Every structure is written in C-alpha cells, then in structure tokens.
Structure 1
Amino acid sequence: MTQQSAILEARGLSKTFQTPTRPIQVLDEANVLLAYGESLSIRGESGAGKTTLLYLLSVLEKPDSGELYWGGESVLDKSPNWRARKRATFMGFVFQAYYLMPELNALENVLLARRLLGKVRREDRERAADLLNRVGLSERAKQIPSKLSGGEKQRVAVARALMNQPPLILADEPTGNLDERTGEQIMDLLLNLCAEEKTSLILVTHNPDFAKRTDRGLNLHNGRFESA
C-alpha cells in the first residue's frame, strides 16, 4: 500500500509518560497503515496504550516522536488550529462513555458535529434526521440523553460521528458500557454504517468476536504491534 492509497499512516509513534517514580513508555515506535474503506481492530491488555494510540492518531495528544499522515498529508508539522479544522471533517469519534451534551436532545447532539464547522443548514438538519432514522431513533429525536438507554445513547453517538461524512471513524471500546446483546447490536450498526458510507474504521475493543469482524486486526503489546 502506498501513502497515497492510505487514509491514515503512522510511522514510529512513541509516547512516554512521566510518573512520580519513573517514566513509562506506552508506545514504542508503533506503525499503523490503514487503507481507504478498510476496518482495523486493535486489541491489547488494559494499560497497553490503545486509547493513547487513538489520541496520537487524532493528535489530541502529540507523540514524542514519529510521523503521521492523514490522507497522505503530514499533520504533525501543522498548527493546532489547522489540525482542529481538519479533524472536524476528517474523522469522527465514538467513545465508551458517549459524551453527549446533557441539555441537548438526540437530534441536536447529532447536529453538534456540524455546528463546530459553522452555520447549520437545512440539508444538515435533513442528514441528521436521516442518520437518526438509520440508527433506529427517529421517534426519539426530541429526547434528551437522560431519557435514553445506554444503547440509544451510543446510537446517537454513532450518528454524530458520521454527521460530517468523515472518511475515518475512531471507536474506543464503543460497547464497553453495554450489555452483551446491546453491544452486538451497536457493533452491527457501526460496521454496517461504515460500510454503507465507505468510511474507514479503527476499532479498539477487548472483544475477540468483534475484532474478527474487521478486515484486519492488530494486538498492542509492550508498546508495539503484533498481527492478530
């Protein structure tokens, strides 16, 4: 795979955190290469650095060393403002804890992704409503998060992640707060919607069955990747 055919490429990402007793290296020259439309699962023991990796790939946290390319474009040498603007349209996020705005209803939470880019247009509202319908929540569009179940909250979060039609979704343990049956439904939804929208996916999960459903899998161990 060439850099031009990769939606995301990371070369030699390293990250060390200082603790009161000693420095801890979480990532040791980790490499990631993801094709357009490809899904990749990442597994590893707790504390292996999976969430840290997602923060580095999205540059919500900068690595100590390494290179990172979004759609073939180098990003670590760009300004924080450039990265923030690019990130808003380049990637969507699905977190274990949902991170919905409690005072906004489901439709408004989905639209929040678009508001970060500027004025919300009529076609944006139509897309948000369509996404809620596709995740099975059209009748719950006016409900605030406290009136939604955990599975419904995560459906809203999936719709929000896709709102700006990003080419890449980063999902960090998206079923971690859900029971087994609901988790399976959310995983079906996430994988199917990414396939429909031709969106690449990086999925961090502890679940080996979910990991097997992606195109490719990696295990993170001692700061480095091993093929799953």
Structure 2
Amino acid sequence: MEQQTVKSMTNEQLIGACVWLDREQKKSRAMMNSYKAELQARGLAIMENHNVKYVKFYGDEGSAAITDSMSLDILNPDKLKELVGEGVYKMKVKEETKTTYKFDSKFEKAMKAIFTGDYTFETTLEEFLDEMSIKPDDKQKKLLLKKLKGEFEKDKETLISVLVPEGETVPDFDVELWYIYRIKNGELIKAFLPEEMIDAIIEGIRKSIFVETKTSITLDYDDTEKED
C-alpha cells in the first residue's frame, strides 16, 4: 500500500516529503545530541569523583552506558626510550611496521597517569592506611596491602568487606579511594622509572607522549515498537 502511494506521488510531492523528513531528522538529531551530551556530562561527573571510566544509567525504556577511554601515543619515541631506559622500553613497548605502538597494560597505565597527573609520591599505601578514619588492625592492613589495586569499584568492595562489620552503616570511602588510586599509580610509575631525578624524568616523559580522551555513549533498549 505504501509502495503504491509513493509511486503515485508527483515529483513535487516526493521532493516536499523528502525535505520535510530531512528537516525532522535534523531536529531529532539535534535533540538527541543534546540529551546524549547531558548524559555524558552526568556520567563524567560521576567518573571524576569515583576514578572509573564507565558508568551506566537505567530508565524505564532501557539504559545508557557512558565510557571514557584514553588512547596513548608517543610523540618522541627516542626521547621516551632514553628516559625510561632501553630495557624497559623494549620489554613494554612493541613497535609495529605501520609506526603504531602496542603497550604493556601496566606500562600504559603508568604513562597515562604521568600525563594526567593522577599519581602521588607523598605517602605510601601503608602510611595512608594508618591515617584512615577507620584504622585497620595489623591483620586487616596486611590484607588490604595485598588486595588494593587502585580500581575504584573493586577497592570499595575490598574496604567494605575488610573494614565494615556486617550490619553496620557503610561509609562511601570516596576520599580514601581517590588517594588509594593515586598512591597505586605512583607505585606503578616508580616500578618503571629510576628513583634518581624522577621528577625531571616524569616532566620529560610528559612532553614525549600524548593521551587523547574520548567519551562515548551507548544506548541499549528493545527496538520493538510498543503498541498503545
């Protein structure tokens, strides 16, 4: 029926319909971009407070996943090799023939932390645990030192399971988790770089690499149209 209707339309009618539909698509696209941008902004705000790169929102009609990804590129490979040492560079960076770089995941995490400044050398994890509002005993501290990884969700579960007795109110631990994230990044950086002149080396590395951040949103819903 629809095909017959289209075939029976004049050129003017077809053009008019196409123009109307194109305008409606542009309006819908603009509204969609506005809604997605607001969801992304809300997701990024949560990510910044929780040191995560993924947030999922749920609604009656479906869900929206916000992902914040970072890609690492080397601006000056010779300088980076000189700064981190040829041995570390050869072990942790794979040079491909098309001049792209494949990084060991831990080394990549350390380089990204250097570029973004998300690390600290001011205190060790052991020292920080002794200063927490809920201070662990020796047994708990030993377990936390082993299990904390600098990953917000997993570390939060670890802190709750180790420090909060069942049935008691659970603190949010946001501040503690932010410090743990930065301390663990600092430990990772120190694992790859020499202690001597480390600040100067870090500054040189920051000038030798580039980290690009990309935020994406994925909608998930049942695309079967509901009947009224």
Settle same-fold status: TM greater than 0.5: no
| Structure richer in helix, relative to its length | 2
For the aligned pair, the TM-score class normalised by the smaller chain equals: under 0.3
Pair member with larger Rg: 2
| Structure richer in strand, relative to its length | 1
Give the TM-score normalised by structure 2: 0.22
Give the TM-score normalised by structure 1: 0.22
